[in-house]
Amino acid sequence: MVIYLAMAFWSVLGLTFNTRLSGMMTRALAPTGAIFAFLSLWTGALWGKPMWGTWWVWDARLTSELILFFLYLGYIALTSAIDDVRRADRAGALIAIVGAINVPIIYFSVKWWNTLHQGASVSLTRSPSMAQLMLWGMLLMALAMWVYTLAIVCYRVRTLIIERECHTDWVQALPEVAGAKA
């Protein structure tokens, strides 16, 4: 959800200030967000079978998370389908901004509707309602996922910059680009 909000943030910047980096950042974030949305749905199904007795329930949180996954896929498909990079960035920005409405729906769905999901296990205002060992494991994995996300996004942005600027002198002077031509 935070990755999608970051996409919406970069999209607003791109539409407001017409920055090229904004479109590249949004494109770099989308695949990782899609992977994490898919993993949350998949592992949720694995957990849901023994807990609820079924792989899938049309629960408010599950359905809104599935919509988030489809928003990621839609963004990736739309930006890939348009040949003009600037037009693709603007069209993708609109999807990212409009789709950001889904993020609070996912987060508050447990409070707004009677769902199978429990409330938050970790909160800033009260002590965690999970075992200490599970809490540390969850925090460690969250940190690992954020480090992974930052590393992959930086790598993807670098690749997108080089792809978009491949005809400029500064890219031609890069050793790896010059070596690839030889």
Domain ranges across the chain = 2-117
The answer to whether residue 181 scores a pLDDT higher than 70 is no
Q: What is the mean pLDDT of the chain?
A: 90
* pLDDT value, residue 178: 54
Nearest Cα residue to 161 out of 85, 88, 50, 79: 85
The answer to whether residue 131 scores a pLDDT higher than 70 is yes
Nearest Cα residue to 10 out of 97, 83, 69: 97
* pLDDT value, residue 169: 87
70-119 pLDDT, tens digit each: 999 999 999 999 999 999 999 999 999 999 999 999 988 878 887 776 66
The answer to whether residue 67 scores a pLDDT higher than 90 is yes
The token duo for 127 is 């002590």
The secondary structure of residue 173, as a DSSP letter, is T
Residue of higher predicted confidence among 69 and 54: 69
Q: Evaluate whether 39 touches 144 at the Cβ level (below 8 Å).
A: no
CA separation, residue 107 to residues 64, 75, 113, 128, 161 (Å): 9, 21, 11, 18, 34
CA dihedral for 147, 16, 91, 74, sign (positive or negative):
positive
SS3 175: helix
DSSP alpha helix (H) spans, the chain? 2-17, 20-52, 60-81, 85-99, 102-112, 132-164, 169-172, 175-181
Residue of higher predicted confidence among 130 and 138: 138
Q: Evaluate whether 111 touches 119 at the Cβ level (below 8 Å).
A: yes
Residue of higher predicted confidence among 90 and 125: 90
Range with lowest mean pLDDT among 7-16, 38-47, 103-112, 158-167: 103-112
* pLDDT value, residue 55: 87
Q: Evaluate whether 164 touches 24 at the Cβ level (below 8 Å).
A: yes
Q: What is the CA radius of gyration of the chain?
A: 19
Out of 17-26, 133-142, 168-177, the most confident range is 17-26
